[in-house]
Amino acid sequence: MAESPWMTTAQVAAYAQRHQETVLLALRRGLLVGVQAAANCSWRVHRKEVDKWIAAGCPSKPSGKHKPHKIRAA
């Protein structure tokens, strides 16, 4: 049976040699692309996305290129 290309956050952390919390921060901040079936469910990340993230240096903090949206009071 072929190995699935989808990885859990623990598998991503081991593969990228990073702490699992770093992986979760990157996912929450949109720096690593992953999917959740519903809110508060576990993440799944495709191996190709992990390889892209590793090639980018495994960022977990925004680079400053993208500024967060400001919410204006009505």
pLDDT on residue 53: 95
Q: What is the mean pLDDT of residues 18-35?
A: 95
Residue 69, burial from CB neighbour count under 10 angstroms (0-12, 13-18, 19+): exposed
73 neighbors 33 (Cβ within 8 angstroms): no
pLDDT on residue 69: 46
C-alpha 37/C-alpha 57 separation (Å) is: 27
Q: What is the mean pLDDT of residues 46-67?
A: 85
pLDDT on residue 18: 96
pLDDT on residue 67: 53
pLDDT reading at 33 higher than 80? yes
Write down the pTM of the prediction. 0.79
Listed by start position, the domains of the chain span 6-55
* Residue keyed to tokens 């901040």: 29
